[in-house]
Amino acid sequence: MIPHHVGPTRAQALERLNEFVPRMGAHYAGRRNVDPGIEGRANVSQLSPFIRHRLLSEEEAVSAALIVHGAEQAFKFIQEICWRTYFKGWLEHRPLVWRDYVDARTSQAALLEKDASLRADYETATAGRTGIDGFDHWARELAETGYLHNHARMSFASIWLFTLKLPWALGADFFLRHLLDGDPASNTLSWRWVAGLHTAGKPYLAKREAIETCSDGRFSPRNLADRPRDIDGTGNPPPETITAADPLPQKPFALLLTEDDLSIETWLDEHLDVEAVAGMESASSRCADDVSQAAREFTAGALADGLSRAALHFGVPETNLSKQTDPETALFDWVGRLQVKDIVVPFIPTGWARDRMAPLLRKLRSEGFIIHEIRRDWDDAFWPHTRKGYFKLRKQIPSVLGTLGLAEGLKTDG
Ligand SMILES: Cc1cc2nc3c(=O)[nH]c(=O)nc-3n(C[C@H](O)[C@H](O)[C@H](O)COP(=O)(O)OP(=O)(O)OC[C@H]3O[C@@H](n4cnc5c(N)ncnc54)[C@H](O)[C@@H]3O)c2cc1C
């Protein structure tokens, strides 16, 4: 199955989940690193575009794996889901790293305008015309499908940085232009990890043999860099404190959704006193250049789907602000029609949606609206363990799943 051809709906997410659940155990653990190519890719879930927009939550994917396979067999899959949680929590503790990426992207994009030779190399790489086996295929696969296997992403980023010696933030930006699962935390921090900026002094150097094995023998690139180079970028700042989430108001409120959480009906009770629901997505702000049509359509479709389900759940009218010519003005028109002053917003993590929404939320506050940013238990339970390295979080997975009430599978097999 190719994600590109998949509808951005919760129904599709659940269908894909059900299809993949039987392979979430030993099969996934043993085969997940291999990428047999689009046609034979049954060993990884391809759930990321859904989970990234929370058309399906991390908790739902983990529960399904635990129920069907038990803790021991499902642990590899759960660990991978927790990489997403780790990156998200880590970036939330260090929003400066996101700022640094945005600044690096701006200055590197300006270099492209000035340096014709760099521009030519960049265009050759993004068009998949370098002559490097594997790399060219992945550049085209990304543009055509909006998805790459994790190992292909690692190899692509490494070749971009160390063989082609291209600027790192432009590579991250190229991914965000096309990935249906494009995510500020997973993408920025994975690129920083390959570059040796996230785990200082430990870059990921792609090697021919590893690519041969992980591509199931499809690719065997020659003349790859045999050593990494130092990549310009700031180190990791100390973690900041994450602001506590707000409780739900004890009075009627309106609900404002973004692309970061689109299955609100799975965690808010239908009997809550909701007056209306609106939604606004920011996919066009993802990258410096034009975002691919497929990526924009996936996010727009996901928002429309999430909004309709929320409206149905609470039995209230929906307003898709992103469908209006000027969504910002439409937001203020919408709040102007509300009877309530309290607006609940599922937490918007650090990234382009936060960059766009934060000033709007500030303006709403200054106009007398009370904004309540609520957060899922999953994030609140895991994020305190995301201040340092991933392995600190990994150790805590069983106990955190226990506090979330997902310990049954762990007890049975663990
Ligand atoms: C350079 C680079 C850039 C990346 N950019 C993104 C991005 O923008 N958005 C994104 O969602 N992921 C990104 N990843 C992480 C990872 O490659 C994808 O999440 C994964 O390949 C999605 O495919 P899947 O759903 O088939 O994964 P599966 O192997 O089936 O894993 C199940 C789920 O676990 C999570 N997961 C698995 N591996 C990782 C990982 N390494 N990091 C974070 N979460 C993971 C995803 O939610 C995934 O859906 C990037 C990785 C690299 C190396």
Cβ count near 15 (within 10 Å)? 14
Domain assignment of residue 189, yes or no: yes
Nearest Cα to Cα of residue 382 among 372, 374, 392: 392
* Ligand 1 pocket mutation pick from 55, 84, 382 by most atoms within 8 angstroms of CB: 84
363 in the same domain as 291: yes
365 in the same domain as 257: yes
106 in the same domain as 34: no
Distance of CA 213 to CAs 46, 107, 146, 209, 365, Å?
20, 37, 23, 6, 55
Which of 162, 195, 214 marks a domain boundary? 214
364 in the same domain as 397: no
Q: Tokens in use for 55?
A: 């058309």
Which of 183, 198, 214 marks a domain boundary? 214
155 in the same domain as 68: no
Q: Percentage helix, strand, coil, to 5, in the chain?
A: 55, 5, 35
Q: What is the pLDDT of residue 410?
A: 58
* Ligand 1 pocket mutation pick from 81, 180, 186 by most atoms within 8 angstroms of CB: 186
Residue 387 is classified by DSSP as S
pLDDT in tens, 48-87: 999 999 999 999 999 999 999 999 999 999 999 999 999 9
**Which residue lies with its CA nearest to atom 12 of ligand 1?**
186
Residue 146 is classified by DSSP as S
Distance 335 CA to ligand 1 centre (A): 36
- Round to whole Å and give the CA distance between 62 and 374: 22
Domain assignment of residue 245, yes or no: no
pLDDT under 70: residue ranges of the chain: 1-5, 408-414
370 in the same domain as 327: yes
Nearest Cα to Cα of residue 180 among 148, 138, 136: 148
Distance of CA 195 to CAs 22, 160, 202, 232, Å?
35, 10, 8, 9
221-254 as b/e: b if 16+ CB within 10 A? beebbeebeebebeebeeeeebeebeeebeeebb
Q: Which atom of ligand 1 is nearest to the CA of 51?
A: 47
Domain assignment of residue 248, yes or no: no
- Round to whole Å and give the CA distance between 54 and 60: 10
110 in the same domain as 83: no
Q: What is the pLDDT of residue 413?
A: 42
105 in the same domain as 204: yes
Nearest Cα to Cα of residue 126 among 142, 111, 115, 112: 142
pLDDT in tens, 5-23: 579 999 999 999 999 999 9
300 in the same domain as 190: no
Q: Ligand 1: residues within 6 Å at CB? A: 32, 44-48, 51-52, 80-81, 83-84, 87, 149-150, 153-154, 157, 175, 179, 181-183, 186-187, 190-191, 194
Domain assignment of residue 14, yes or no: yes
- Round to whole Å and give the CA distance between 10 and 195: 35
Residue 192's domain comprises 96-214
Domain assignment of residue 277, yes or no: yes
pTM above 0.95, yes or no: yes
36 in the same domain as 108: no
- Round to whole Å and give the CA distance between 375 and 347: 5
**φ, ψ of residue 47 in degrees (nearest 5):** -85, -10
Domain assignment of residue 235, yes or no: no
CATH code for position 14 = 1.25.40
Which of 214, 232, 266 marks a domain boundary? 214
273 in the same domain as 360: yes
Domains in the chain, number: 3
Q: What is the pLDDT of residue 414?
A: 39
Domain assignment of residue 223, yes or no: no
Q: Tokens in use for 164?
A: 């082609």
CATH code for position 302 = 3.40.50.620
Written as one string, the DSSP assignment of 323-366 is GSSSHHHHHHHHHHH-S-SEEEEE---TTHHHHHHHHHHHHHHH
- Round to whole Å and give the CA distance between 20 and 46: 9
CATH code for position 159 = 1.10.579.10
Cβ count near 317 (within 10 Å)? 11
369 in the same domain as 341: yes
